[in-house]
Chain A
Amino acid sequence: MIADILTVMWKDRKGLMRQGGSRARGAANQLLIVVMLAVIFPIQMGSDWFSHSLTLVAAFVVPMIAVGITVPESFAGERERHTLETLLASRLPDRAILFGKLGLAIIYGWGMAVATLLLGAVVANAVGWKGQVMFYTPPILLANLGISLLASGLTAGLGVLISLRSATAMGATQALMMFLLVPIMILQIVPLLLLTVVPNGMAIFQRLLKSLDFTQVMLVLAAVLLVVDVALLLVAMARFRRARLILS
């Protein structure tokens, strides 16, 4: 099973490296986001970058975008290009195909997040050099690594389910981005609206923020993401079956 998973990952990695056309443009857009998060913000913040909440945003958003483009290509794209039937007619077990594709997408998304954090650290050091190398504190580093991995898993799981229902990779990517970005936007807009309605809302909100424990918040966030990730994976395993796929 492991050998089969690695074989699928090998093929998808080759495909990812040799992508062209619209997929290459997608990769260029990802690079732009990485540059923005890992170069422009650290230049503006200098040493403050290492303790700023933007690092967490980078850890969350970068894998979402990277995986959000990779997974639809890998699943819906395989069907769109009529290569899935032949793959299903091979000896590969359903789960090896699923895990291989998911595995590569998650590693890719997580790798992009780690690269963003490392590049950001290099840039922040270069701009705000104080005679010694600065780096993220262990809790922040751990939170960033954990959240980015779980965000990759969340996007990958959701991406599989959407891709299984979508005729094209482009359609799946658009639907996935909508599923991911709309809740994030709502989470940003609703509190702002509430703050304008509630008297002294901003002061209450700031007091609430100060009272929160970073570790606890991260643990709760990680636990929620983990539960959602596992649930999505289980649903994906139930749906990614030959007899279903050949008829879809």
Chain B
Amino acid sequence: MTTNHTAIHVENLTRDFGKVRALDGLSLDVPAGIIFGFLGPNGAGKTTTLNLLLGLLEPTAGHAVVLGFDTRTQADEVRARSGALLEHSGIYEQLSAEDNLEFYGRVYRLPVAERRARIQELLTHMGLWERRRDSAGKWSKGMKQKLALARALLHRPSLIFLDEPTAGLDVQAAVAVRDDLASLAAREGVTVFLTTHNMTEAEKLCGRVAVIRQGRLVALGNPDELRARAGGPHVEVVGRGFTAAVLAQLRAQPVVAAAEMNNEHLTIELHTETDTAPLVGLLVGMGVQVAEVRRGKASLEEVFLTLMEEEK
């Protein structure tokens, strides 16, 4: 069951293609109003999940409830209330940008005045209004993705599905699409189900993430929880004078989980986020010449790699 606070409820969702199990007993809840990252390597089952949630495919077992509607029996209702930017942008290249949005505005039965105002609002927000009459085929890939994002949001859906929206874009275009997505999602209060294998993207955008591998859920939580799972906060110290005695003294500190030395580079794993000044003071007191101190925590990319390794 979904509630006002749950946009998507998935229970034991399974999909087979012949003898291949593309999705294997997936269960998760997506809270409403957040950007939910659905992470996994290529072939993990991300797109299959998306097609199941949109009711484009029927599950072999299990069920999904999206915006309160069963995807098996009420898929039309799901599609009417959601927007999608799938693997391909789905832009009609022979049509102008304005006509692309006009078409989908008609599809979602927006009244004429509202449709025109909304098209202008979205294209202006994306910086595309001046070029609205160009054939979309003449646009760069980044501009097309922005247009596709505008199309997904056109009818003010409660939920949008985005399948790797920045894949294949150059860095600048990807940043632009990501910024537009973040600002529009925040402004419109829409729930975003974002599949990606770009960890930086997930880290910047997502309030909660799920990681799948070979169709199975391997982790679910907010990015901080996942980082904690992969390893706590750490401090890196660059300098000279790291001896065995220094290491032993460090390891004896209650806040220190581990300490490793590599030439002039010392990595101290901490149990929790803590003030590092006493540790640096301890090192200096033992004759270490400290050149640089860096605090850090595991990136989502490291988390992802750790999870993939664990699953192997």
Q: Which of B58, B79, B95, B148 contacts A90 (CB 8 A)?
A: B79
Question: From residue 3 to 60 of chain A, which have CB atoms closer than 8 A to chain B?
Answer: 3-4, 7, 10-11, 14-15, 18-20
Q: Which of A4, A15, A86, A92 contacts B94 (CB 8 A)?
A: A15
The answer to the question of A83 belonging to the interface, with a C-beta cut-off of 8 Å to chain B, is yes
B61 partner residues in chain A, CB cutoff 8 A: none
A14 to B97, CA, bound (A): 12
Segment touching A, from B81-89, B196-204, B237-245, B304-312:
B81-89
Q: Which of B55, B57, B76, B84 contacts A86 (CB 8 A)?
A: B84
- A73-99 CB mask vs B (1 if < 8 Å, else 0) is 000000001110111111111000000
- B76-111 CB mask vs A (1 if < 8 Å, else 0) is 100110001111111111110001000110111100
Is there contact, CB below 8 Å, between B79 and A11? no
Is there contact, CB below 8 Å, between A90 and B88? no
Is there contact, CB below 8 Å, between A89 and B79? yes
Number of A-B contacts (CB under 8 A): 74
Is there contact, CB below 8 Å, between A7 and B106? yes
In chain A, what residue has the closest Cβ to B87? A85
The answer to the question of A243 belonging to the interface, with a C-beta cut-off of 8 Å to chain B, is yes
B104 to chain A, nearest CB (A): 7
A85 to B51, CA, bound (A): 10
In chain B, what residue has the closest Cβ to A92? B107
A87 to chain B, nearest CB (A): 7
* Size band of the interface chain B makes with A: 20 to 34
B86 partner residues in chain A, CB cutoff 8 A: 85-86, 89
Is there contact, CB below 8 Å, between B103 and A7? yes
Task: Say whether, besides A4-B107, A7-B106, A91-B76, A242 and B56 are in contact (CB < 8 Å).
Answer: yes
Task: Say whether, besides A86-B88, A90-B104, A246 and B51 are in contact (CB < 8 Å).
Answer: yes
B90 partner residues in chain A, CB cutoff 8 A: 82-83, 85-87
Is there contact, CB below 8 Å, between B76 and A89? no
A83 partner residues in chain B, CB cutoff 8 A: 88, 90-92
Task: Say whether, besides A85-B88, A86-B90, A246-B51, A93 and B76 are in contact (CB < 8 Å).
Answer: yes
Task: Say whether, besides A15-B95, A20-B94, A246 and B56 are in contact (CB < 8 Å).
Answer: yes
- A-side residues, CB < 8 A to B, are 3-4, 7, 10-11, 14-15, 18-20, 81-83, 85-93, 242-243, 246-247
- B-side residues, CB < 8 A to A, are 51, 54-58, 76, 79-80, 84-95, 99, 103-104, 106-109, 135, 148, 151, 161
